[in-house]
Structure formats: C-alpha cells, structure tokens
Structure 1
Amino acid sequence: MQRLLMIAGTALLAMTVQASAQGDAEKGEKVFRKCGACHAVGPDAKNKVGPQLNGVVGRQWGTVEDYKYSKALLELGEGKVWDEETLSAYLEKPKDVIPGGKMAFAGLRKEEDRADVIAYLAQFNEDGTTK
C-alpha cells in the first residue's frame, strides 16, 4: 500500500510539474505586453524593431520574410528551431543565447513568465490565426 501511495504521489508531482512548465496563455498575453513595443502577433502582425512572432514556436531561426536579422543570429541559427527550451533560454537572457544579436531586452527572469509567454505565442499559426 505504501508503495502504491508513493507511485501515485510521484505521478501527481510529475503532472503538476508538466502543467506548470507548459504555461498559461492568458497570463502570457499580459507578459507579452513587455514585448509589444518591438514584436507583434496576430492576423495583422508586421515586423517592427523585431520580427513578427506568428508561428515562432517550431520555426527555424531567421526565416521571417522581409526582416533583416543580425549576422550573429544568422550564423548561430543555421539549422536551429525555436523550440520551447531554446525560446525559454533566449527569453531569460537573449545575449547569452545570441551574443552580438539585436535584441536589447534584458530578459524575463521568472521561469513562469517565460512559460506563459511561450504558451501565448504557441497559439499563433504562421498566418496569425489562432490554433
């Protein structure tokens, strides 16, 4: 019985960790306001100081049309994809992931904020429609 309780507790803990790692898109929309001066998402999103972010989760680095990426991003990003792990690291400390990149933002220190923003961005298809 004790072993069964331990297994059930471990499973519950794993589900809780997985749920928190996935983030909350509604909260992410609020956190994304910090990004909105330079980035846009949605059907009418256009490139600003930074590229529009429709479909960014799962997209190859440096592939938004009509956006001039930094040489550093293009060199480091060849063959790389913006998966959740990479996005989280980039959102935490952009200059650590792409030294010499254009992103001037200091980063989102809270893991929860990063997970929430990624969940928010993951809702958008490349054309700006929501999934």
Structure 2
Amino acid sequence: MIVCTTVNDDYRVEVFSKATKLILMDTNRKIIHVEDNPALLSTSKRPTVANRCVELGADVVIAAHGSVCYPSYRILKQHNVRIYVTEPGSDLSSVNVTPINQWEVLYSSIVAVLERLSGH
C-alpha cells in the first residue's frame, strides 16, 4: 500500500495548496519518495496534488483538513484512492486520521475558492 500526502519542511502534514513537498510512504510509514509540491506552480492547486498522487500510484491519500475540494475528491475517487483527513501540522509518525466525508469536501471547496479570490 502506497500513501501519498503533502508536508512542510519539518515533514508535518500540510494543506495541499501550502505544503512544500509531496511524499509517498509505505505501510510502515517509511518515506519512499519526496518531490517539490507541484501545486505551488499551478493555478488549480488541490487537483494538481490529487493528479500527482494518482500518477505516482498512491492507494491512500492522507490530506490535511481543508485540502480535498470537490475536483480533487473526484480525481481520487475515480482512481479508487482511499482518502483520509488529519489536522494540519500532524506529525507523520503519529498521524491520527478519519475517513473523508461530504462536509470536509464542502469545507475544502470553500477554502479553495477563497484562496483563489485572495490570490493565494
């Protein structure tokens, strides 16, 4: 099982649109791939991360609260990727996750629109 998530420079889980790195981990939470977050160079930040996780063969995505807008959700679901949510700043070694729900997708979609309107 391959897990995809986005992290900051301290390797703490971060929102898709703000993280500096995209990483893959194995089932033992060992990091097996690190790259610069492609969302930082894209106008459609969250879907860019979702697409990259799919391209890299992720089975699971761990997303910081506010990361998975509706387009990202659709991309991941179309590829049968399981999605879990955690709080931004969570430590990878002890991350506590919950399955995504419709309210998280709605909240993330609103946050994404507000980020776009503010130019971030």
Indicate the TM-score class for this superposition, using the shorter chain for normalisation.
Answer: 0.3 to 0.5
Query: Which has the bigger relative contact order, CA under 8 A and spacing at least 6?
Result: 1
Structure with larger Rg: 1
TM-score, structure 1 normalization: 0.31
In proportion to residue count, which structure has more helix?
Answer: 1
Going by fraction, where is strand more abundant, 1 or 2?
Answer: 2
